[in-house]
């Protein structure tokens, strides 16, 4: 009978995390009244949570290959059965047997995706679940720039200057076209008309402009590239549009995936209440949850990492891809007289569960939204040029 083989999980980082708390005993004895505890945590993307570890466990993991399988007897002979069993239970040691198959399957999925280790830990560790940042900001009195400045002091200067004004070279105003007017009207919307329905043709136009494949090119068999209206690293376009549709003419409220090649909607089954899910998607930012359409921009990592394998810049390129698409969405919405937004304050874990995503393969980077603006401004919007709202009022400008 073949003996069990072991190896270390493919990616793991260690974080010595210190927590400082008030200590009355320290204060009474003449100290500073503070006590600190140090916890050593293992951060492994194939696991759901951070895992407390001991220095002895770290020492073992540092001496076991993540690539080559080693007989369990050999590892136990060096470190003891108890230490090996503890790390197998935590999922930081992987066995080639049926013991803890979930850990091995998740670790294999991570390996096959060609993640850069630091990017994998960062992406997986920063995903939110159950966060209500909108409520928390309001409760803490951090919902406006004025409140922030009162608590935190003034921010860094609004513009960066390297030399004094006399040493700067002034530039001409340049050419002004209708595109400049469009850019001036690009304002993040926090006031959507919840009583209106978005026309199907407008909805379709938005998706076609921003996310559809404008053209395709077959490089070779099973190797096709697409052209979108936004750039993408390596021409790979790994960003997928998953939709939460609330109020669109002719489209049943629900969850969808946008098929960019066929310019069509793929219905996704869900038992969740849409309004509650929308609110949880954007971390309780009610003004965003009211949009007619929420667009979860999720990266399909194997598409990018197929070319940029374990690459130091691969994850950065993925995030740039989402940024390009969001600006195109903003400008398209503005051109059509709609409001739009983007937010990174999202509950990735709950979005993944709702849309059936595996976060090692497909995961949200940001959520955008678009829809018809409300006639009255209830939530504050940053519109210093007065291009959307009538200056001095909370009324929407008349575009007629």
- Please give the Cα distance from 253 to 170 (Å, whole number): 53
Q: How does DSSP classify residue 166? A: G
At 236-278, the pLDDT tens digits run 999 999 999 999 999 999 999 999 999 999 999 988 899 999 9
| Mean pLDDT estimate for the chain | 93
User: For 363-391, what is each residue's pLDDT tens digit?
Assistant: 999 999 999 999 999 999 999 999 999 99
Edge-first strand order for the sheet with 362-371 is 264-268, 254-259, 239-245, 293-300, 362-371, 339-343
Residues 198/185, Cβ–Cβ less than 8 Å: no
**pTM score above 0.75:** yes
pLDDT of residue 270: 86
Provide the percentage of residues in the chain whose pLDDT is more than 90: 81
Spatial neighbors of 241 by CB under 8 A, at least 6 apart, are 207, 210, 211, 257, 258, 260, 295, 296, 297
What end-to-end distance do the CA atoms of the chain give, in Å?
82
Instruction: Please state, in angstroms and rounded to a whole number, the distance separating the CA atoms of residues 60 and 354.
Output: 38
The string of pLDDT tens digits covering residues 275-295 is: 999 999 999 999 999 999 999
């Amino acid at each position: 009978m073949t003996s069990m083989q072991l190896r270390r999980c493919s990616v793991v980082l260690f974080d010595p995390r210190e927590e400082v708390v008030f200590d009355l005993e320290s204060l009474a004895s003449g100290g500073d009244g503070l006590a600190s505890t140090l916890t050593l945590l293992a951060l492994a993307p194939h696991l759901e949570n951070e895992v407390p570890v001991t220095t002895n466990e770290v020492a073992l993991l540092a001496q076991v290959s993540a690539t080559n399988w080693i007989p369990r007897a050999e590892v136990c002979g060096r470190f003891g059965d108890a230490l090996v069993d503890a790390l197998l239970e935590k999922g930081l040691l992987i066995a080639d047997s049926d013991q803890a198959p979930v850990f091995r399957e998740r670790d294999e999925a991570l390996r096959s995706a060609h993640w850069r280790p630091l990017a994998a830990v960062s992406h997986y560790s920063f995903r939110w679940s159950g966060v209500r940042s909108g409520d928390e900001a309001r409760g803490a009195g951090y919902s406006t720039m004025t409140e922030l400045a009162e608590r935190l002091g003034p921010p860094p200067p609004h513009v960066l200057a390297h030399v004094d004004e006399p040493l700067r070279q002034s530039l001409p105003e340049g050419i002004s076209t209708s595109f400049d007017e469009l850019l001036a009207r690009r304002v993040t919307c926090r006031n959507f008309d919840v009583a209106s329905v978005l026309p199907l043709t407008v909805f379709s136009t938005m998706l076609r402009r921003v996310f559809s494949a404008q053209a395709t090119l077959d490089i070779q068999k099973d190797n096709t590239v697409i052209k979108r209206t936004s750039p993408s690293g390596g021409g790979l376009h790994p960003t997928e549009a998953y939709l939460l549709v609330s109020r669109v003419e002719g489209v049943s409220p629900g969850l969808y995936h946008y098929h960019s090649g066929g310019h069509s909607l793929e219905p996704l089954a869900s038992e969740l209440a849409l309004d509650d899910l929308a609110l949880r998607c954007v971390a309780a930012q009610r003004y965003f949850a009211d949009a007619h359409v929420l667009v979860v921009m999720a990266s399909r990592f194997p598409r990018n990492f197929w070319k940029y394998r374990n690459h130091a810049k691969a994850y950065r390129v993925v995030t740039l891809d989402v940024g390009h698409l969001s600006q195109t969405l903003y400008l398209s919405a503005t051109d059509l007289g709609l409001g739009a937004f983007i937010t990174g304050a999202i509950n990735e874990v709950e979005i993944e569960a709702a849309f059936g995503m595996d976060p090692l393969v497909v995961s949200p980077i940001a959520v955008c939204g678009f829809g018809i603006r409300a006639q009255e401004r209830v939530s504050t919007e940053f519109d210093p040029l007065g291009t959307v709202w009538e200056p001095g009022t909370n009324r929407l400008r008349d575009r007629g």
